[in-house]
Structure 1
Amino acid sequence: MPAAPGMIRPFHPSDLPGIYRICLLTGEAGGDATGLYRDPDLLGHVYAGPYPVADPGLTFVVVDGLGLVGYIVATADTHRFEQWLERRWWPTLRARYPVREDPHDGTEDHVLVGRIHDWAAADDALVDRFPAHMHIDLLPRAQGLGLGRRLVETLAAALRERGVPGLHLGVDSRNEGAIAFYTRVGFTEAARHDWGRTLTLDLT
């Protein structure tokens, strides 16, 4: 029987493999994305890995008796983070993953590789008001226990200590459970897109 999860602590470098694993297991609108990617690290390279490297002080993890069960990663300054990505993160990954065509076999590696080579910058108007952004993922056994709320509250407190006025995130429209969760913890909808929604949280 798994131990009840509940311990939230700051990121340690040994957590990175677990973060990548959880990113993949929750990467398909909250469900398991393992079957979508030939390279299991691609999702983590794009949506999880750079954050604790760029600023480990804004990454927090949840652990239980079996190991890592969730995380929240963030940056306090999205524009500065994007500049860091261009200098320090994308060059190595662009060399490792050349642009590729859709193999038409149901896999989506080519989609993420395309994002590595052509990352869409955040909207200036959004970032001026809500400069921080985040990603959060919990394995199923850690869901419904209030841990997501605690992770958001932990991150929000860290951002307020830095004087950050607001936080934003993107969520897939198919992930209705996540949208409901974000609404419960205080996020409001700022915009709708083909891929999903942008939600914001006022930290002032």
Structure 2
Amino acid sequence: MIRPYRPTDLPALYDICIRTGQEGGDARPFYADHELLGTLFAAPYAWLEPELTFVVDDGHGNAVGYILGTADTPTFVKRFRSEWLPAVAGRYPPFLGPVPTTTHEIMVDLLHRPERMLVPEVAPYPAHLHIDVLPDHQGAGHGRALMETFLGALAGAGVRSVHLGMVTANVRARLFYDRLGFHEIAVADPGPLTYLGRATS
């Protein structure tokens, strides 16, 4: 079932994020620190906007999937820098080398550059989201149910459109988003990502 996030779900959010962090597959072999990805892509949303965080409950109180995000990306970026980053920078100090090369260095560099989320071409889609479901629980309709719940919450708050950035190589994820009515947003310099957007209702 889909239910609102509870603070006791936080360890599961970190776990789900790393176990789906390599183009939808397990990223644990690529990171010595298994909480780094969650520090970037999951925990700050649950911390800053818990009302927009929902989980798949396995029936025993355990979160096995989530959707989370923000209703207003520019405001989230400001809060990420002023509230979230000071809370985690001691564990993940800024990368000081010339160019990050390892996966750890690259993610730490991203952590300290939240303004990267301010992509001009997606400004008409002010909300954004991240969604992940553990492999053993995929294919049961949980992803669609999570998305419908999240979009409904945005629409109820008066937010009319949402975007996401997905790794272009993750073809399976793209098919999922296409089925849910997302369309590609042309971005001048997308890097390894494809940006998708849709109306919330």
* TM norm structure 2: 0.91
Identical aligned residues as a percent: 43
Gaps of 5+ in 1: 1-6
Measured against aligned partners, the alpha-carbon deviations of 1:114-137 in whole angstroms (never above 9, x if no partner) come to 11222314123422x211000000
127, 142, 149: which one aligns with 1:147: 142
Q: 1:161 aligns with which of 156, 159, 162?
A: 156
CA contact (8 A) 2:73 2:127 kept: yes
Q: Please, what is the CA RMSD of the aligned residues?
A: 1.7
> What is the alpha-carbon distance in structure 2 between the residues aligned to residue 57 and residue 83 of structure 1?
18
Aligned to 2:122: 126
Instruction: Please state how far the C-alpha of 1:96 moved relative to its aligned partner.
Output: 2.5
CA distance in 1, matches of 2:117, 2:2: 31
Counterpart position of 1:51: 45
Q: Which residue in the other structure is 1:41 paired with?
A: 35
* Over 6 Å off, 4+ runs: none
Instruction: Provide structure 2 residue ranges, at least 5 long, that are not aligned to the other structure.
Output: none
* Alignment partner, residue 18 of structure 1: 12
Q: Is the CA contact 2:162–2:198 (under 8 Å) kept in the aligned structure 1? A: yes
Question: Matched residue of 1:20: which SS?
Answer: helix
Q: Which amino acid aligns with 2:144?
A: R
TM-score by length of 1: 0.90
| Aligned residue in 2 for 1:195 | 192
Partner of 2:105: 110
Distance 1:153 1:200 in 2: 14
Q: How far apart in 2 are the matches of 1:191 and 1:124?
A: 11
The AA in structure 1 aligned to 2:30 is: L
Q: For this pair of structures, how many residues does the alignment match?
A: 195
Cα distance change of structure 1 residues 103 and 194 upon mapping to structure 2, 3 Å threshold: closer
1: CA distance between counterparts of 2:112 and 2:79? 15
Deviation by residue 1:97-151 (Cα, 9 ceiling, x = unmatched): 22155897xx511111111222314123422x21100000001111111110110
2:16–2:134 contact (8 Å) kept in structure 1: yes
User: Aligned partners of 2:134 and 2:5: how far apart in 1?
Assistant: 17
